[in-house]
A and B are shown apart, each in its own frame.
Chain A
Amino acid sequence: MRMALLSFLLILLVAASAGAGVRPEEILDDPALEARARALGQQLRCLVCQNQSIDDSDAPLAADLRRIVREQLVAGKSEEEIKAYLVARYGDFILLKPPVKPATWGLWIGPFLLLGLGGVLAFVYLRRSRRGATTEDSELSEEERSRLAALLGEDAEGARMPTSSSSP
């Protein structure tokens, strides 16, 4: 009895939080099946409104699809079988989460590839700018080196002169 009450409250909670489009008369008597129907309904796209799940949509087609989902669940079909049935008629588009297959690899892997590319570029940029600050700029050409040596030599001599003259 307490279990039944608890599951009833749970169903109410689920009904309140999700599936704004699901109408009371559609709800199955079996709470476990209804919960599965809700879980599945949240993954299926309403083809009329296109950015809502069939559970969230008030469109008549969404109601038809919810009914099909429930009929097939009652008939003992698995979630995968029901999805396959709908995909055969409406294509992958009916799944809010696209399946991973060669045609959708770009979709799934693309963001990580871009992130990786950005990381590599950032790494190269940072390393180059750090090296630029320490080594590249301090590298002198032959000419500059000889000029520097000459200047330093002059300086060194100039600096030594007084001491050498003051020494006895």
Chain B
Amino acid sequence: MAAEREELQSHEQRRGAVWLYLLPVAIFAVVALALAWGLSRDASVLPSALLDKPVPEFELPPIPGRDNHGFSRQDLGGRPMLVNVWASWCVPCRAEHPLVTRLAREGFPVHGINYKDRPEDARAWLAELGDPYTYIGSDRDGRVAIEWGVYGVPETFVVDARGVIVFKQVGQLTPRVIEEKILPLLRELERR
């Protein structure tokens, strides 16, 4: 009787102990997962509030000496297009320029918003690196960029045929983003 009871008691204790041993492991796993998620994402990149919304109303004058068209809301829609916000003083813009050119060569119209830039600097930059843009609007005081929710250059938007913003890249374009996200998205939008 005594032995039986003792055995039962120690069994119960052991079960409680196992649970206690597992508790720190479980807590560790939860904390590790939370940290892995938190540390592997860049918290400074914000989701765009304008995703899946129509592009804002805007009208920009041209860069004097480039053309006389400028760039406005009316130029968007009809087919999928790209809008690239850039400036001659922006180093990552220079770095991503070949990729912007490549997107234009793939056959998708790329428009530019020239952010807080002097016309002569912008023209010199285009002359040096090439001008892949269909239309460029000159946003000298950065007001239109605020309408687009831009908080730094470069930023690149994909606008579908309805004129709705479907993708936004904050910061420099990379070959990987183009291969894995932008081009597949553009091709899919084109098929629709």
Interface residues of A (CB under 8 A from B): 47-48, 50, 60-61, 64-65, 68, 87-91, 93, 141, 143
Contact = CB atoms under 8 A, between A and B. Distances in A.
B147 A90 contact: no
A132 to B, nearest CB: 14
A70 to B, nearest CB: 14
Interface residues of B, number: 20
B60 to A, nearest CB: 16
A63 to B, nearest CB: 9
B44 A50 contact: yes
Nearest to B143: A64
A47 B151 contact: yes
B29 to A, nearest CB: 19
B149 interface: yes
B142 interface: yes
12 contacts: A48-B152, A60-B116, A64-B142, A65-B146, A89-B50, A89-B149, A90-B149, A90-B151, A91-B46, A91-B47, A91-B48, A93-B46
A87 to B, nearest CB: 7
Nearest to A65: B146
Interface string B146-176: 1111011000000000000000000000000
Nearest to A50: B44
Nearest to B147: A89
